[in-house]
Amino acid sequence: MPNNASAKVDAVELLEKQHREVEAMFERFEKMTDRATVSKKKLADEICNALIMHATIEEEIFYPATREASEETGDMVDEAVVEHASAKDLIAQIMEMDPGDDLYDAKVKVLSELVEHHVEEEEEEMFPKARELKLDLAALGEEMQMRQKEIEASQ
């Protein structure tokens, strides 16, 4: 994902921006032909790395803050963590595969659908709740951007 960390952005805005970027990458992948194996592999790996970074900053920073802010958020955060685990399993499989392998495109498609469902729940339930709980989203956003830079530097 492009790194525009110099601009101040709150945590929810940062996560939503990352959601849009990954959605756009999945759309590009869908349009690729079977013959574009090198481009497919490169884009799928880019999607996987973006999702790993995104999940990491959510799990290390956003989810704990959301859980801590209210007892009401526990189940929501637990479900999101389980969804991340499923996505990480698929990501690991995809990254070990090549576009010509059986089920490669199917796994990327299922990952896309899993992410789409996860994004919908976050944006319709968790993010509004985070705003309602008056979390310091600016401070969280700044911390998440710093962690994002660290992760991207190590990829």
pLDDT digits (tens, 9 = 90+) for 14-61: 999 999 999 999 999 999 988 899 999 999 999 999 999 999 999 999
Q: Which helix (H) or strand (E) holds 122?
A: none
Global pTM value: 0.91
Confidence band of 6 (pLDDT split at 50, 70, 90): low
pLDDT of residue 7: 66
Amino acid, single-letter form, for residue 17? K
pLDDT cut 70: percent of the chain above it: 95
Measuring CA to CA, which residue among 30, 83, 94 is closest to residue 54? Answer: 83
Name residue, tokens 């729940």. 121
Cα separation, 30 vs 66, whole angstroms = 34
Rg of the chain over all Cα atoms, to the nearest angstrom: 16
Q: Are 29 and 107 in contact (CB under 8 A)?
A: no
Whether the pLDDT of residue 142 is over 80: the answer is yes
Cα torsion for 70, 57, 40, 30, to the nearest 10°? 20
Q: Tell me the CA distances in angstroms from 5 to 40, 98, 144, 152, one per residue in order.
A: 27, 32, 9, 12
pLDDT of residue 75: 95
Domains belonging to the chain, first-starting first, are 11-154 (1.20.120.520)
Mean pLDDT, residues 120-146: 95
| pLDDT-wise least confident of 7-11, 83-87, 113-117, 144-148 | 7-11
Cα separation, 142 vs 155, whole angstroms = 20
